[in-house]
A and B are shown apart, each in its own frame.
Chain A
């Protein structure tokens, strides 16, 4: 997925589409942002300057579907590969789950979350550097009659389990079923996430990053493309684009802070 932050107006249509597609409910008190659930949350950043130089950017943040550290990068990667595992992938959340309620699919590169297997320990919530995982503090108080309007393709969650963005995996399942019946392949436009379809300014592009025929493949080679917190070597599959330099810098502000700390440590020497 590639999100063009210069096109994003921060309208929140992606968030709404996501909640509607994935049966995310509305809680009693949605102002309690620590306990409310938004699989795709839109963050606002600004360049810290006062009027008239103020500039604002919005960062829609789904699950990054990190691949994590790979073999051959010990010491460099924050999340290193476990030599005992067959899988090369090592996302931060998957490696801490004690219940195997989340895994990395080598075929699609999507990080799953199985709420029925989740024991609600919230290790993954703590491990995720992007705050993409949410814990169900409450059962959703569905108003009378509304459960009939829920999507049958996504199972609703209960209190006490963790949930997150799945890149609308149910859409992939349906697209794959259709492809199997047709005897064809799942095409680029057969599988698009709800947020991609909902974005009125076309800021979100979705496809296979490794497929040269897909639009996202070309977009990620742009010099304006970056990812959030690349310093951590989580290898996310969500890329962002912006021609504004301050936006690109802020996305990895951990690096700046890290550099500052390193400089302070080197220069301080007492």
Chain B
């Protein structure tokens, strides 16, 4: 028997259990505890039923979220868009949410929505290039947001303050839309499709 084999120890059952427990604790720390500590939640100022509104409007998502003539994107609709259908003195719904909403309508004040897809200030994103030019559907990046009946809580990184949607919910980017929107993700798609990858294409 060589000295190499002499040094080899039989693994006991306790060793395997320890390994298993370690893996579970480690995974729990990485997949559950860290994101829980890192991200804080904020509720939207109001609840909003996208599904209900999508049934009422004629032009799909573009009815409220549209490209302006100058090429910029009307992401969050103005209160004037709401006022086209809603009047302060004639509520269409019931409850505290509707009452809170009508206060904004009456005061002609914008609703301070929290934007899930808000990018850092140094990023330039062109909806015109991705929809009008590349022909993307809204859902390709934003998922089934238009089919939801409730707004999910807005999660943001406690350190950076950026929305969690930028980082993505799936730990390795395997989950469905909304897809993570980090620089690597932009660069990957740009190089795959032969789009210009110069810095200023996406930065300002």
Q: Give me the interface of A with B, judged by CB distance under 8 Å.
A: 101-108, 110, 112, 114-117, 153-156, 166, 169-170, 173-182
The 10 sampled A-B contact pairs (Cβ below 8 Å) are: A103-B199, A105-B201, A114-B199, A114-B203, A153-B204, A156-B121, A173-B126, A177-B129, A179-B71, A180-B126
**Complex: A156 Cα to B120 Cα, angstroms:** 12
- Do B203 and A177 touch across chains, with their CB atoms under 8 A apart? no
CB-contact partner of A181 in B67, B122, B198, B203, under 8 A: B67
Q: How far is the CB of B10 from chain A (nearest CB, A)?
A: 52
B200 within 8 Å of A (CB atoms): yes
B200–A116 CB distance below 8 A: no
Docked-complex contact A105 and B200, CB < 8 angstroms? yes
Q: Nearest Cβ distance between residue A101 and chain B, in whole angstroms?
A: 8
Q: Are B126 and A103 in contact (CB under 8 A)?
A: no
Identify the B interface with A (CB < 8 A): 67-72, 120-122, 124, 126, 128-129, 132-133, 196, 198-201, 203-204
Report the minimal beta-carbon distance from B154 to chain A, rounded to whole angstroms: 21
Count chain A CB atoms within 10 A of each CB in B71, B122, B128, B200 and give the residue with the most: B200
> With A153-B204, A173-B126 in contact, is A107–B196 under 8 Å at CB?
yes
Across the interface, do A174 and B70 meet the contact criterion of CB distance under 8 Å?
Answer: yes
Chain A positions within 8 Å of B200 at CB level: 105, 108, 110, 112, 166, 169, 173
A181 — which chain B residues lie within 8 A by C-beta?
Answer: 67-71, 128, 132
In the bound complex, CA of A112 to CA of B198 (Å): 8
Chain B: minimal CB distance from A161 (Å):
11
Give Cα A181 to B69, complex, Å. Answer: 7
Q: A154-B204, A155-B204 are in contact. Are A180 and B198 (CB under 8 A)?
A: no
In the complex, A21 Cα to B2 Cα: how many Å? 78
Chain B nearest CB, measured from A166 CB (Å): 7
Tell whether, in the assembled complex, residue B71 and residue A180 are in contact, meaning their CB atoms are under 8 Å apart.
Answer: yes
CB distance from A123 to the nearest CB of B (A): 17
| Min CB–CB distance B166 → chain A (angstroms) | 14
How far, in whole Å, are A106 and B204 apart by their CA atoms in the complex?
A: 17
Q: Give bound CA distance, A105 to B63, whole Å.
A: 36
* A112 to B68 alpha-carbon distance, docked (Å): 27
Please state if A107 and B198 are interface contacts (CB–CB under 8 Å): yes
Closest B residue to A169 by CB, please name it: B200
**A105 contacts B128, C-beta separation under 8 Å:** no
Q: Which residues of B contact A180 (CB under 8 A)?
A: 71, 126, 128-129, 132-133
Give A179's nearest chain B residue, CB to CB: B71
Q: Which residues of B contact A108 (CB under 8 A)?
A: 198, 200
Contact partner, B198, options A103, A173, A177, Cβ 8 Å: A103
Residues of B within 8 A of A169 (CB): 200, 204
Closest to A106 in B: B198
B71 interface neighbour in A102, A104, A116, A177, Cβ under 8 Å: A177
Give chain B nearest CB distance to A68 CB in angstroms.
Answer: 15
